[in-house]
Amino acid sequence: MNSAWLSAKIVDYGVADYQGALERRLVALPEILHGRAFGAQMARFLPPALVQRTIAQRGFLDYLVAANQGLLERAREAVQR
């Protein structure tokens, strides 16, 4: 992850308390991705066959949480450099 680019985008978009917001999102992510609203939105926008191959499969949402938490953790490390 390009820390200079990420830091510049944080400034460009005027993100206040980036570190705090990132930490809150890391904590909230499992509840969001396992929530009914997320599943409903994905089912609304994704083709049914894709839903069946992904979010409807046992363990997929856990994978999605872990993958997104990993990206957020990389972003946290990038801006701390």
- The whole-number pLDDT of residue 81 equals 73
**What are the pLDDT digits (tens) for 11-70?**
999 999 999 999 999 999 999 999 999 999 999 999 999 999 999 999 999 999 999 999
Q: Is the pLDDT of residue 80 over 90?
A: no
How many angstroms separate the Cα of 10 from the Cα of each of 25, 55, 65?
16, 31, 23
d(CA 66, CA 72): 10
- The whole-number pLDDT of residue 21 equals 94
Closest residue by Cα to residue 39 from 27, 57, 23, 21: 57
Domain chopping of the chain, boundaries: 3-80
